[in-house]
């Protein structure tokens, strides 16, 4: 088998290290293991195939493997008919929102049981110089999945071709009519589209009273007051004044780069309460930011991502907000319509050194299998991606202990997920990386040589740096490689990036990571957006250790998926804690179904705590794994107690590939 890959010297993996060491020779060889037995060992031979170089080092290599199949993800973008490409520019103006990227959603908009795809586009920068290419489609795109697994562009017929400067989106049934609606965040006015259940969407932004018109980033739906209607939280990255973006930062010797968020005014995230339908039948949203005590003096920042979850396990949904260069916020629900920032006192605002970081993406999941939601936040180069373990509402930075520090320090992380890729019962990490400061500029800057002032757009134009004619070389400077980490179940992660197949093979300027079971085969597939490239869809072919369940959790009283519900699958003495939570990652909205990997072919029962009403758990009968199930409220039995705390699982990761260089 032959695998083609890209490796650059700024990547922190055994594979990349071998490539760098072997630069002076024609080839190099490493040995990797798929397990403790020698029968699973294979060799990887690296051969330099081109002389292409990048800002970070050498370019394209050929990787030839002998032994078991090593592919974990396969790029199926072309064969699926997904032809989206982000249109943005011109990049030479260094308009900050363009480097932040845009996201998308996996959701079943037409109710046929198959996931469809919505992708957010951006468009022309306010300081564009020259003509924007006429062949670039700047509208958002909706792709409907066909019976054969391919996708067709139905944007026009569905009415979802918003042409604002798009950033992120979130899908949820805001009017409780049984179909999924969608909100789009923009640099400028956000948009709310109601699904009529017939394949069409209606822009009801004005009628609904959605007055968010700042620099919106991530959005999330959550019933924070437990009244049965989904409310809306939208993060704000900064002030939306284009006049604050009319320059680039001088990175030394007149080299332009994107300015730090410190150059821009921070803003306040927005919370909108769902008041239900108005006289015209259209749902109404009311801005309750100040009333909820999320207002300026408490909540200013540069919000990149928001994730709702019951972090203190009191039965009420909270919000965690990732801020770029500001302390992260853990907004604890006070059960009276207000929130209190408990980030500093709980340890969720800072890392173990007491420092706030440049947070981009956030994933929530039960990493240590103890029955409560933990946090993983992604960060800029020279910071670690930070893992916070939840201990009864207190968060502890265990990044170093879990072996995540060193492999992440040389990357800039964005989209991220905590999902079970191999069905061993433990949550793994796919991670999308992309630089914001090119390697060369980063290496040239230090305390003795800091950035010096700004470069105006006029200066950029005179020097020819604002041309829109050829954007690809500009974005190539921001390429990085995606990573994969597998949870051993023993309190550590092991990086498997070199065996990630197409997901981690090619360097790109990645941003959003959206996940869901796109082909309904029982595992989680990945969709990745790029700053100036095609969105790419990756099929999960990871070798599976155990089995799976794919659960749709439905509250018939509201005719929708029970966002915020907690699910515990009982298998003997094992407990698998999951949540109905499509929010998280970065600018993304995920498959709302609950995916669970299990070690056996049978499970004993499923327990569900519904997000509103009495705080009891409803129990559903067990059965066979490897199937899709619907759990409908009222069809199980109830008990006014919490499931017992989970025991530490004992599964061994012996079916996973061994660490690079291990025999």
Query: Helix, strand or coil for residue 156?
Result: helix
Q: What is the DSSP string of 213-227?
A: -SBEEEEEEE-TT-S
DSSP 446-502: BTTB---SEEEHHHHHHTTTT--S--HHHHHTT-B--EEEEE-SSS-EEE-GGG-TH
Q: Which residue has the tokens 């259209």?
A: 282
pLDDT at 253: 66
Helix or strand (DSSP H, E) at 446: none
Residue 201 contacts residue 137 (beta carbons within 8 Å): no
Do 541 and 74 meet the contact criterion of CB atoms below 8 Å apart? yes
User: Which pLDDT does position 301 carry in this prediction?
Assistant: 82
Q: What is the mean pLDDT of each run of 10 residues along the chain (663 residues)?
A: 32 32 35 33 34 37 43 95 89 84 98 97 77 79 98 98 95 97 96 96 97 92 97 90 77 79 86 96 96 76 94 96 93 96 94 88 97 96 94 96 93 97 97 87 55 65 48 82 96 94 92 98 97 94 95 96 97 95 98 96 96 84 97 85 40 35 30
The predicted pLDDT at position 32 comes to 35
Question: What stretch of H or E contains 524?
Answer: none
- Count CB atoms within 10 A of the CB of residue 274: 24
Give me the pLDDT at residue 451, please: 56
Q: Specify whether the CB–CB gap between 204 and 312 falls below 8 A.
A: no
Residue 402 has what pLDDT?
97
Q: What is the pLDDT of residue 173?
A: 98
What tokens appear for 55 in the block?
């800002």
Residue 550 CB burial class (10 angstroms; 0-12, 13-18, ≥19): buried
pLDDT for res 44: 35
Q: How far apart are the first and last CA of the chain?
A: 20
Predicted pLDDT at 125? 80
pLDDT given for residue 490 in this prediction: 95
Residues 437, 478: Cα–Cα separation, whole Å: 7
Provide the 3-class DSSP secondary structure of residue 449: strand
The Cβ of residue 556 has, within 10 Å, a number of other Cβ atoms equal to 12
Distances (CA, A) of 355 to 103, 259, 376, 386: 28, 21, 16, 11
Contact 421, 429 (CB under 8 A): no
- Interatomic CA distance for residues 241 and 75, integer angstroms: 39
Predicted structure pTM score: 0.87
């Amino acid at each position: 088998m032959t695998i083609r890959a890209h490796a650059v010297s700024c990547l922190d993996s055994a594979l990349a290290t071998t490539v760098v060491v072997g630069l002076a020779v024609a080839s190099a060889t490493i040995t990797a293991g798929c397990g403790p037995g020698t029968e699973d060992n294979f060799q990887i031979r690296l051969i330099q195939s081109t002389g292409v170089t990048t800002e970070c080092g050498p370019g394209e290599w050929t990787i030839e493997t002998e032994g078991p199949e090593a592919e974990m993800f396969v790029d199926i973008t072309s064969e699926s008919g997904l032809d989206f490409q982000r249109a943005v520019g011109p990049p030479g103006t260094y308009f900050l929102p363009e480097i932040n990227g845009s996201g998308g959603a996996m959701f079943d908009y037409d109710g046929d049981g198959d996931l469809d795809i919505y992708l957010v586009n951006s468009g022309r920068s306010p300081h564009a110089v020259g003509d924007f290419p006429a062949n670039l489609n700047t509208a958002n795109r909706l792709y409907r999945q066909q019976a054969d697994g391919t996708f067709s562009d139905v944007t026009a017929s569905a009415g979802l071709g918003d042409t604002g400067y798009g950033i992120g989106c979130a899908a949820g049934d805001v009017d409780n009519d049984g179909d999924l609606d969608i909100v789009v965040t923009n640099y400028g006015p956000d948009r709310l589209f109601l699904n009529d259940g017939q394949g069409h969407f209606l822009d009801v932004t004005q009628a609904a009273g959605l007055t968010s018109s700042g620099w919106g980033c991530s959005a999330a739906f959550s019933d924070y007051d437990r009244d049965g209607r989904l409310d809306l939280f939208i993060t704000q990255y900064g002030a939306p004044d284009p006049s604050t973006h009319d320059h680039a930062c001088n990175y030394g010797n007149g080299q332009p780069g994107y300015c730090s968020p410190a150059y821009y005014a921070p803003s306040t995230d927005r919370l909108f309460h769902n008041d239900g339908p108005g006289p015209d039948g259209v749902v109404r949203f009311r801005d309750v930011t100040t009333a909820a005590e999320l207002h300026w003096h408490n909540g200013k920042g540069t919000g990149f991502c928001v994730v709702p979850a019951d972090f203190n396990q009191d039965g009420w949904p909270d919000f965690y907000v990732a801020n770029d260069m500001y302390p992260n916020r853990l907004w604890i629900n006070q059960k009276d319509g207000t929130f209190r920032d408990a980030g500093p006192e709980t340890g969720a605002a800072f890392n173990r050194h007491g420092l706030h970081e440049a947070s981009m993406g956030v994933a929530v999941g039960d990493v240590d299998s103890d029955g409560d939601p933990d946090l993983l936040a992604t960060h800029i180069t020279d910071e670690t991606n930070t893992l916070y373990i939840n201990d009864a509402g207190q968060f502890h930075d265990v990044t170093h202990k879990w072996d995540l520090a060193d492999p992440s320090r040389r990357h800039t992380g964005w989209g991220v997920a905590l999902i079970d890729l191999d069905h061993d019962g433990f949550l793994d990490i796919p991670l999308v990386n992309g630089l914001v400061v090119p390697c060369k500029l980063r290496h040239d800057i230090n305390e003795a040589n800091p950035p010096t002032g700004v470069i105006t757009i006029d200066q950029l134009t005179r020097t020819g740096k604002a041309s829109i004619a050829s954007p690809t070389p500009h974005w190539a400077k921001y390429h990085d490689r995606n990573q994969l980490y597998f949870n051993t179940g023993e309190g550590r992660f092991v990086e498997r990036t070199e065996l990630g197949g197409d997901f981690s093979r090619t360097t790109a300027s990645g941003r959003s990571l959206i996940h869901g079971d796109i082909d309904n085969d029982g595992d989680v597939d990945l969709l990745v957006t790029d700053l100036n490239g095609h969105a790419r869809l990756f099929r999960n072919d990871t070798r599976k250790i155990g089995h799976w369940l794919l659960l749709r959790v439905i509250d018939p009283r509201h005719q929708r998926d029970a966002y915020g519900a907690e699910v515990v699958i009982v298998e003997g003495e094992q407990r698998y804690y999951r949540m109905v939570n499509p929010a998280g990652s970065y600018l993304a909205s995920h498959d709302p179904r609950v995916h669970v990997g299990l070690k056996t072919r049978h499970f004993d029962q499923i327990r569900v705590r519904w997000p509103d009403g009495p705080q009891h758990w409803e129990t559903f009968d067990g059965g066979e794994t490897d199937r899709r199930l619907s759990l409908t409220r009222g069809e199980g039995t109830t008990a006014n107690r919490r499931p017992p705390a989970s025991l530490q699982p004992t599964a061994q990761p012996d079916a996973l590939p061994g660490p690079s260089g291990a025999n």
